[in-house]
Structure 1
Amino acid sequence: MRMNRIVNLNLRAKLILLYFLTIFIPLLVTGQIILSVSGKKIIEQTTSITQESSTQTALNVQDRLGGYVDIVNRLSVDQTLINYLNPDRVYASELESIDAYDLYLKPVTFYDFNYKNPLAKLNILFLNATLLQDHNIFIFADDEARARRDYREAVQAGGKLVWGVSGDEVFVARSVYNIKKRLTAVISMQVPEDSLYALISESKMSDKIAVIADGGGNVISSNDRELVGRSVADRTFFRPDAAAPFEVRDSADGRSYKVIVGKLGGSSSLPDWRILTLVPIDHLIDDERKIRQTGLLVMGLGLVVSCGIFLLALGRITDRVKALVKKMQTVKNGELSLLQDEGAQDEIGALTRNFNGMIENLQRSIYENYEVNLKLKDITIKKQEAELYALQNQIHPHFLFNTLESIRMGLHNQGDEETATIVMNFANLFRHLLHWQGEFIPLREEIDLVRKYLTIQKYRFRERIQYELEIEPGLAEALIPKLTLQPLVENAVKHGAESTRSGRIRVSVRAAGDGTMVAAIVDNGKGIPPEQLARIRRELADPEIKKSGSIGLKNVHDRIHLHFGPEYGVTIDSPAEEGGTLVRVTMPIRSAKDGTEGGNRDVQSSDRG
């Protein structure tokens, strides 16, 4: 089939197709492959560079934190310092305390700390009440000092290093004890968060996001200042145990990132922190996109120029063919005119001369055949229309209605009111079927049609048939496809009620509470054998079956599917033990006013007969 379509293309289309297949598409595919390979290489290089930068940043942070650990550990094992701070040692006078401070306490902290770590702050919180404090480094551990977080956590750790965050500072602290295992002091280093931020900034992160967080997801420092002090444990990019880079879409800002995770804690002395580097995917492939765009632009310009030259040359070749085709189109529309012959002796010139000869022959024969046939055809059509109109007049509905009304009046005059009522219902039923317009009608009209039908059947079978109609008043104006319930009620009468001496038919329509309504038609007949019931269900479920043993059920089911979708339709059930048949029709509630779904759960109204 596709080959026939290609064969039937005009010459210009075939040449253009040949150009695309042999030049345009191969060049485009080759360019795309080259750009794709180079783009992936750029992404790999960018990822590698970013990972190396993240690793270097982690090493810088480790070196900085390791320096603080060295100071705290060195002071914690300095026995001379511990002896001076020993709470069991009593300084008899202020002069003796000042001498201790000048001779050892001040030098041991001043030269090794102040010159090397100007940004950090050292506190030695001692418990010796007789030793003077300088309120700078050496501070007596009174109630206020003991309430500090670094003091409390260091004491709880029992001589082990502890890391934590207090305000906008990161601290590392350790408690020291005298020879009697009595708490002597707490040595604490407080580092401004800005110093860690400076290390992150030095790595030239540009548009990347760097986050230093503890194992629980609490952000210690970040170049995104809004994240500092917050928790990212619930963010999709926080995977503290990730060993390799991974891609993730952050639910908070909706952006996609490549995340590189590096651990700081290489030993027991360093904190169990992570450095997470978030590289936006769109920026990660920015270079690749630029190269791709440039390549596509150059390739596109080349293709445009090539295509333009090709089309220009092709146009000169096919102009005469297009003129011939255009003239053929005018002939197809009934305009028989000759094409100007330029006198060329090539194939196109031969086509032009043959075409003009054909037009001349058509002009000569048009009055001999075409116009005569048109007149005969017009006469035949008018005769058929007149016969159809006469046939329609013979069965005009008013004649039937007038006849039924005459019968009803005759019965009324004879005193047979019951039969007259049945005739009137039949006339109204027939009138409804003829004058219903459109596909949808209010539910109350369908119920009224069912009521008239059951009244006629009750007249036939007398006490052998009883019926009951129930409808929620709020659903009376809901729109349904016309002739939805009447065929199902007719099936219930024919196959159910007629098979028993005391037939009962119940029709109820209720709202289901989820924007749908369910119409149930129940009879107390003999029911349907299991094999036949299974066949009917297969026919309802198979859309390929257009006709089946249950024409009314299938017709209603297919129309509901067509109007509302496959989730709605007809279901049928017939319990073998209980007998009888239950048919349910599920439809959405469509308002008669504006076509929207709705429905009120009012008090039910019923009709029995």
Structure 2
Amino acid sequence: MGLKNKLTFLYLFAVLIPTTVTNGLFYYVVTNQVRTQKLHDASLVIEQLAKDFEQGIDQVVGISSLLYTDSRINEMLDRQYTSDAEYVQHYHDVFPEFNKYRYMHPFIHSIVFFTDNSTVIFSGSVQPITPQLQQADWYRDIRSFPVLVRTGRSLSIVRKLDYFSFYNKTNRMVRIELEPMAIDHLLRTRAFPGEIYVVDRQGNIQYSTRVQNNVHNKGKPPARTEKGRIVISHRYKTAHYLHGWSIVGVVSEEKLVNNTRYFMAFIFSIAFVNFVVPTIILFLVSKPLHARIVNILSYMKKVERGKFETIHSELYDDEIGQLAKAFNRMSLTIKRLIQDVYMANIQKKEMELQKKQAQLNALQSQMNPHFLFNVLETIRMRSLMKHEDETAEMIEHMARILRKSISWGSDWVKVREEMDIVSRLLSIQRYRFGDKLQYRIDIDESVLEHTIPNMIILPFVENACKHGVESKAGKGNIDIQVRAEGPWLTFTIRDNGPGMNEQQLLQLWRSLNEEEGITEHVGVRNVYYRLKMYYGEHFTFQMYNDRGFVVFFSLPIDQASSSNYVK
């Protein structure tokens, strides 16, 4: 693809498409943000309406509780009167004070008591419990606690008056009818951009702002899935008398975004400007740039053919001009490199090869280790011929250890092989120290076939013999344990020698973190560095004093046994 086509491609994907997408996204974000904000505001209105409605119902329920626990009203409704005059006297003594409850809250339209006491004179505030009344739907819902039901033209709070067990001659109840105009006023005073419904626990509409002066709106509110409408609902879950009731708001989708229409023309205007102006500017700038770059390219092709010519046309101080100057310097530098640096580098490589060849020749000229094995085998055979079996056995152990230590085979061995070498070393040391050395090897048989790095136990056993047994006046003990503990393979080498003082132990730990300059503890450092090379940070290594000196390290079994770690 040529530079001109690339600039066109760049224009499409850096100007045209981003401008179109950006303006489209901007319009979408603004519209969605306005819609979200209005939806949030509408949700707040519904929440506040639900709170106000619940507060009004709570106050009516509070008044019902006062009546429920009023002994005079309960006694008046339960008392068996001998004459009408006696009832009238009690009625005038009690109800004037009772009537104050009726005017305490604007949500209350009326308060009516019901009783099956036949000695009572029934009037507007006291009504009989008739068979017809007992067939009403709301009557079957009456409980000792307040219940919100529809009773004819309005909603009511109803409950039995059975708080006092000693007033048990009659059945009593109270119905506090809510004021429909107060509920309608509450629903219409909030600035909600749609319709509001009060829905009972069966999902039926009890009040709605859709109908003026509504008394009872039967049916269901619009469903959430109805196209073009958004339903916002607050469902009561706390008070038992409102449990399952809902305040539902329904708003048209179009009303939420009708204020964003003017953004469309504004965004299209910006998009047009962003399209035309950059197009003109890019055309005026890209044409001379393209010509200058093509000129530099022609000289670079000459370099490809081995002609290191410099650009002699007018060079500007912009980036392309600096590129042309850098190209001229590069051409001159390549010539010098070919003549000087390249030849010197070849000479240096030849000297390094000669040096490595000399080192290889020196290494090959060293004594063949098989000579040592042959000598040891000859000594062992002579010892057997002279019936010096113990000496022959020690020489065999020594030959095996020597062969293992200078072997160029795999860096990884099985635990069984490593412990065989350790056992042979301890046998030699036992031959050396006699009864002064006692040792014990405790190996979990399940770990014998796991693979571990070669020669990682032997240096610590040698140190235990040298520093733990040899320097001890009495008998020396060496205890070696190899265990499988979960995903870890653990090794413990313990002796009963004098151990290390705190300063020596600190110096030993410090030597493990120093790359050069420390000639002591070479065996320990060698093992520690190899473990870090093989396992990184996924291993544990500890050295401490505990009635002697203890070396403990653990290796992950899955890595120790994996062939991926065999080097």
How far off is 1:309 after superposition?
8.4
**1:401, CA displacement in angstroms?**
2.6
**1:515 Cα deviation after fit:** 1.5
Instruction: Give, in angstroms, the shift of residue 574 of structure 1.
Output: 0.9
Aligned partner of 2:556 in structure 1 is 588
Q: Secondary structure at the match of 1:134?
A: helix
| Distance in 2, Cα, partners of 1:358 & 1:588 | 55
Q: What RMSD, in angstroms, separates the aligned Cα atoms of the two structures? A: 6.3
Match of 2:377 in 1: 405
| Residue of structure 2 in register with 1:508 after alignment | 481
Structure 2 counterpart of 1:560: 531
TM-score after normalising by structure 2: 0.56
In structure 1, the residue matched to 2:237 is 213
Is residue 2:173 matched to residue 1:186? yes
Q: Secondary structure at the match of 2:406?
A: helix
Tell me if the contact between 1:571 and 1:584 (Cα under 8 Å) persists in the aligned partners. yes
Kept after mapping to 1: 8 A contact 2:373/2:399: yes
Q: Which residue, out of 151, 164, 172, partners 2:143?
A: 151
Distance 2:452 2:283 in 1: 59
Which amino acid is 1:519 matched to?
Answer: F
Structure 1 equivalent of residue 306 of structure 2: 337
Describe how 1:321-360 pairs up with structure 2 within 5 A. Answer: 321=296, 337-339=306-308, 344=313
Residue 133 in 1 paired to residue 116 in 2? no
Q: 1:451 to 1:136 in 2, by over 3 A?
A: same
Distance in 1 (CA, whole Å) between partners of 2:351 and 2:65 is 122
State how many pairs are aligned. 439
Which residue of the partner structure matches residue 403 of structure 2?
431
Q: Which amino acid aligns with 1:220?
A: G
Distance 1:518 1:151, change over 3 A: same
| 1:520 counterpart (492, 502, 515) | 492
The alpha-carbon deviation at position 516 of structure 1 amounts to 1.4
User: 2-side partners of 1:426 and 1:418: how far apart?
Assistant: 12
Match of 1:175 among 156, 160, 165: 160
Contact kept in structure 2, 1:511 and 1:517, CA below 8 Å = yes
Partner of 1:570, secondary structure, is: strand
8 Å CA contact 1:133–1:139 kept in 2: the answer is: no
- The one of 526, 537, 543 equivalent to 1:572 is 543
Identify the range of structure 1 (517-526 vs 125-134) with the bigger mean alpha-carbon deviation. Answer: 125-134
| Distance of 1:419 and 1:60 partners within structure 2 | 102
Amino acid in the other structure paired with 2:40: T
Distance 1:482 1:524 in 2: 26
| 2:143 counterpart letter in structure 1 | Y
Gaps of 5+ in 1: 1-11, 13-23, 91-115, 117-121, 155-160, 165-169, 225-274, 276-286, 331-335, 598-609
- Report whether the alignment pairs 1:50 with 2:40: yes
After superposition, residues 90-489 of structure 1 pair within 5 angstroms as 132-134=130-132, 150-152=142-144, 154=145, 161=146, 172-176=157-161, 184-187=171-174, 191-195=200-204, 206=230, 210-214=234-238, 220=244, 314=289, 316-321=291-296, 337-339=306-308, 344=313, 381=353, 385=357, 388-389=360-361, 391-435=363-407, 437-489=409-461
Q: 1:371 to 1:453 in 2, by over 3 A?
A: same
Contact 2:201–2:245 (8 Å) recurs in 1 = no
Match of 2:85 in 1: none
Given that 2:302 and 2:309 are in contact with CA atoms closer than 8 Å, whether structure 1 keeps it comes out as no
Q: Which amino acid aligns with 1:133?
A: P
Go from structure 1 to structure 2 and tell me whether the alpha carbon gap of 1:467 and 1:317 turns closer, same or farther (over 3 Å shift): farther
CA contact (8 A) 1:76 1:176 kept: no
Q: What is the CA–CA distance in structure 1 between the aligned matches of 2:495 and 2:65, rounded to whole Å?
A: 97
1:356–1:560 CA distance, 2 compared to 1 (3 A): closer
In the alignment, is the contact (CA less than 8 A) between 2:200 and 2:245 conserved in 1? no
Task: Supply the distance in 1 between the matched residues of 2:174 and 2:558 (Cα, whole angstroms).
Answer: 78
Aligned residues of 1:467 and 1:504 also touching (Cα < 8 A): yes
- Separation in structure 2 between the aligned mates of residue 471 and residue 303 of structure 1, nearest angstrom: 83
**Matched residues, percent identical?**
22
Which ranges of structure 2 fall in alignment gaps of 5 or more residues? 4-13, 82-106, 119-127, 150-154, 178-198, 209-220, 250-259, 316-320
Q: Which has the larger radius of gyration?
A: 2
Distance 1:564 1:492 in 2: 25
Q: Deviations over 1:461-496 (max 9, x none)?
A: 333322221110001122222222112212212221
1:280-337: per-residue Cα shift (whole Å, max 9, x none)?
Answer: xxxxxxx9xx99xx99x97999999788987775454344445656766x6xxxxx82
Amino acid in the other structure paired with 2:541: V
